[in-house]
Amino acid sequence: MPHRLLPALFAVLLLAVTAPAVRAADILVTSLADNEFLDGQVTLREAVRAAAQDVSVDGSAAGGADDRIGFAAGL
């Protein structure tokens, strides 16, 4: 029995070490506008879309696991 358990344990350990990590993204809102134009500014609408769809929108970080949306200083 122990000789069968060792390969299974090794396989589980190998998967745990090599599995890609799903990480949360910090998405920064840089504009108070309400649009989805490709203008280099990230609006709240675009940040929510990036977080919900796990994509980069208008230069924002791509969403991941539990994303955080923050606001640039001065907004």
pLDDT number for residue 17: 62
pLDDT at 40: 87
**pLDDT one-digit tens code per residue, 3-60:** 677 777 777 776 666 655 567 788 899 999 988 878 889 999 999 988 888 888 888 8
Distance between CA atoms of residues 63 and 33, nearest Å? 21
Do 69 and 29 meet the contact criterion of CB atoms below 8 Å apart?
yes
Q: 30: closest CA among 71, 62, 61, 67?
A: 71
Residues sharing a CB contact under 8 Å with residue 15, sequence separation 6 or more, in sequence order:
none
pTM: 0.66
| CA 49 – CA 35 distance, rounded (Å) | 12
pLDDT at 70: 92
Domain spans of the chain, in order of start: 21-75
